[in-house]
Amino acid sequence: MPQRKIGFIGAGMMAGAIAQGVVKKGLYQGEEIAMYDPNKDKLSSLKQELGIVPLDCAEEVFAQCQLVVIAVKPQHFNTVNYKESVNKPTIVSIMAGVTIAVIEEKFPNLGIVRVMPNNPAQVGEAMSAYCHNELVQPEQLAKVEEVLKAIGEVAVVSENQMDAVCGLSGSAPAFMYAVLEGLADGGVLMGLPRDVAYKLAAQTMKGAAEMVLKTHKHPGELKDMVTSPGGTTIKGMYALEKMGLRAAMMSAVEEAALQSKKLGELK
Ligand SMILES: NC(=O)c1ccc[n+]([C@@H]2O[C@H](COP(=O)([O-])OP(=O)(O)OC[C@H]3O[C@@H](n4cnc5c(N)ncnc54)[C@H](OP(=O)(O)O)[C@@H]3O)[C@@H](O)[C@H]2O)c1
């Protein structure tokens, strides 16, 4: 059996984004990546785009790869076929809300890494947080980190923090798209063309995030630096505070995290 570096069960949006990230970053070549998905069209388009190797069933992926990423929707996890073989892959689950205990039921005695990536993985700007069981060897964990770094940034958390991760980095891309749309609508309201308004809003959001990440300054300090007495920005801040900006953000993360917990308990 050929040994491939990484395999994917499911060839959807996230599998495609991760495979693209590792190939683009030069971590693995297409022929070192195997994939299985019942949808042959998705496999052929990724084969054409990245040179990945489509396989005929999930069992072949588990038998041939050192790392196997489970990239199916949580509700399809029970349809993934696994048969023990001499190969003992490390399992990397990106399924939202599926606990390590549930994954271990299907893959007893294998190292399991549970990851929560997010939607900007598609442009190499994901925020992924992960936890793992005690069977994962340090060198395998280092490989998982390398793969996750090929699509963005990485944080290590404990499993009981995973619902909070889902509420924050897992869900907040949608919150940020809504904030961005609101800012752009404000620009249009005040006379900017729509395309210019989206560009200004998106680059401003990106620039502000980069300021926090690169200067390591507290966001409050950065805000204080741009709010001059009696000026325009403090007037806008006043409007936001009157509408409960921070409470709205905290509630959004709280609701999303509680929903993640609830969905996890239903499984
Ligand atoms: N999208 C995100 O931003 C995001 C963020 C964080 C985590 N996640 C997690 O990532 C996982 C994948 O999400 P996605 O957005 O990439 O989903 P997706 O685009 O729907 O991809 C899942 C793929 O798996 C296929 N599939 C279904 N059952 C299968 C099986 N038994 N064996 C092999 N393949 C099978 C699906 O085929 P059909 O379409 O024919 O069912 C589909 O092509 C989910 O568990 C999700 O919770 C996603």
Pick among 3.40.50.1000, 3.30.70.890, 1.10.3730.10, 3.40.50.2000: CATH of 170-266: 1.10.3730.10
Q: How far apart are CA 78 and CA 70, in angstroms?
A: 11
pLDDT band at 265 (very low <50, low <70, confident <90, very high): confident
Q: What is the pLDDT of residues 171-187, one digit of tens each?
A: 999 999 999 999 999 99
Question: In this model, does residue 16 exceed pLDDT 90?
Answer: yes
Q: Is 55 helix (H, G, I), strand (E, B) or coil?
A: coil
User: Which strands, in side-by-side order, build the sheet including 33-36?
Assistant: 53-54, 33-36, 4-9, 65-70, 90-93, 112-116, 126-132, 152-156
Q: Ligand 1: which of 14, 35, 267 to mutate, judged by most atoms within 8 Å of the beta carbon? A: 14
Q: How far apart are CA 217 and CA 220, in angstroms?
A: 8
Give me the residue spans of the domains in the chain.
4-159, 170-266
Q: How far apart are CA 174 and CA 143, in angstroms?
A: 29
Question: In this model, does residue 2 exceed pLDDT 60?
Answer: no
Q: What is the pLDDT of residue 267?
A: 63
pTM recorded for the entire structure:
0.94
Helices (H), 71-132: 100-106
Q: What is the pLDDT of residue 87?
A: 93
Q: What is the pLDDT of residues 135-147, one digit of tens each?
A: 999 999 999 999 9
Does the Cβ of 61 fall within 6 Å of ligand 1? no
**Amino acid, single-letter form, for residue 111:** G
Relative to the CA of 97, which ligand 1 atom is closest?
47
Does the Cβ of 267 fall within 6 Å of ligand 1? no
How would you class 189 by CB atoms within 10 Å of its CB: exposed for 0-12, middle for 13-18, buried for 19 or more?
Answer: exposed
Does the Cβ of 151 fall within 6 Å of ligand 1? no
Q: How far apart are CA 143 and CA 122, in angstroms?
A: 20
Instruction: Give the architecture (CATH level 2) of 4-159.
Output: 3-Layer(aba) Sandwich (3.40)
Relative to the CA of 93, which ligand 1 atom is closest?
45
- Span from the CA of 256 to the centroid of ligand 1 (angstroms): 20
Question: In this model, does residue 1 exceed pLDDT 70?
Answer: no
Residue 226: name the closest of 235, 218, 214, 234 by CA: 234
Question: In this model, does residue 14 exceed pLDDT 90?
Answer: yes
Q: What is the pLDDT of residue 264?
A: 78
Q: Is 174 helix (H, G, I), strand (E, B) or coil?
A: helix
Cα 114 versus chain centre, distance? 11
- Portion of the chain with pLDDT greater than 90, in percent: 96
Does the Cβ of 36 fall within 6 Å of ligand 1? yes
- In order of 17, 19, 165, 196, 248, the CA distances from 8 in angstroms are 11, 9, 23, 39, 37
Helices (H), 6-155: 13-24, 40-50, 58-64, 100-106, 138-149
- Span from the CA of 205 to the centroid of ligand 1 (angstroms): 29
